[in-house]
């Protein structure tokens, strides 16, 4: 009896804590250009999204699985060769050792991986109050809800949390985050970047653009995969029709002989 009572009390305590923390709202549903069987990435959007990542997100979040040359590949932002070289050269990359056995810095090359904002994880945690900013290369795939979830998190900040909810120092309210609390401060504000193509940099626009870019980094071959899938379906349909017609012809001969 005592064990049953203890279990009930424990359940009540846990439920109370979860309720106090707050329930995350269901992520918003966005009509992405890359959704659906024939969906494709919007090149201009991917280029704007890279700009948001570079000017806002890259100061905290790494992109370790991506090389600068990937930015010029078909199916992605498709920057020109010269643009890719200029983007890579804007970073100083640690290299070496040289002939004297010393490490040195040089201008980035298209073949280089995206430069990390921190030399190691401990340094990242030290700067961010013990929290480690996740790598963004495959972030969309690593989060349940994918693109809609990332977009919702960026749009979910509110300076006024619900009455009764305590927000600790260094923590922020976000209605789409589990527990409604997040350590990352609001990264995007009106005009955080000045788009090179003249697009108005609203919070919603920047959130959509950088989310599309992160979706591409997580699925760089999405368009190719869809094309292959479509061709495969067409092939299977044609093959099925041919098999059906062949079998029909064979059975017609059998029936004639009978």
Residue 140 has, within 13 A of its CA and on its CB side, a CA count of 18
Dist CA 137 CA 214 (whole Å):
7
Residue 110 has, within 13 A of its CA and on its CB side, a CA count of 13
C-beta separation of 181 from 2 below 8 A? no
Dist CA 207 CA 176 (whole Å):
14
Dist CA 86 CA 104 (whole Å):
20
Check residue 15 and give its pLDDT. 38
Torsion sign over Cα 115, 116, 117, 118: negative
Q: What is the pLDDT along the chain (258 residues), one digit of tens a residue?
A: 444 434 333 333 333 343 344 588 999 999 999 999 889 999 999 999 999 999 999 999 999 999 999 999 999 999 999 999 999 999 999 999 888 899 999 999 999 999 999 999 899 998 888 888 999 999 999 888 999 999 999 999 999 899 889 999 889 999 999 999 999 999 999 999 999 999 999 999 999 999 999 999 999 988 777 777 756 777 777 878 777 777 777 777 666 666
* Helix ranges (DSSP H) in 58-163: 81-89, 121-127, 139-142, 146-155
Q: Can you give the pTM of this predicted structure? A: 0.82
The closest of 31, 30, 39, 29 to 222, measured between CA atoms, is 39
């Amino acid at each position: 009896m005592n064990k049953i009572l203890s279990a009930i009390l424990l359940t009540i305590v846990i439920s109370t804590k979860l309720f106090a923390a707050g329930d995350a709202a269901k992520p918003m549903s966005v009509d992405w250009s890359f959704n659906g069987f024939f969906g494709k990435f919007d090149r201009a959007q991917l280029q704007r999204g890279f700009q948001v990542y570079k000017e806002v997100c890259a100061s905290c979040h790494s992109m370790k699985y991506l090389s600068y040359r990937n930015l010029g590949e078909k199916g992605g932002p498709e920057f020109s060769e010269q643009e890719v070289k200029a983007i890579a050269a804007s970073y100083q990359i640690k290299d070496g050792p040289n002939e004297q056995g010393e490490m040195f810095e040089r201008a980035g090359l298209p073949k280089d991986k995206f430069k990390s904002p921190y030399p190691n994880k401990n340094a990242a945690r030290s700067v961010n109050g013990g929290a480690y900013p996740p790598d963004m290369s495959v972030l969309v795939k690593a989060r349940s809800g994918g693109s809609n979830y990332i977009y919702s998190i960026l749009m979910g900040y509110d300076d006024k949390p619900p009455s009764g909810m305590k927000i600790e120092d260094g923590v922020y309210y976000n209605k789409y985050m589990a527990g409604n609390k997040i350590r990352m401060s609001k990264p995007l504000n009106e005009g955080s970047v000045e788009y090179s193509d003249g697009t108005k940099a609203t919070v919603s626009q920047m959130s959509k653009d950088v989310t599309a870019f992160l979706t591409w980094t997580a699925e760089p071959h999405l368009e190719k995969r869809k094309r292959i899938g479509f061709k495969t379906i067409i092939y299977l349909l044609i093959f099925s029709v041919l098999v059906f017609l062949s079998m029909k012809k064979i059975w017609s001969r059998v029936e004639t002989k009978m």
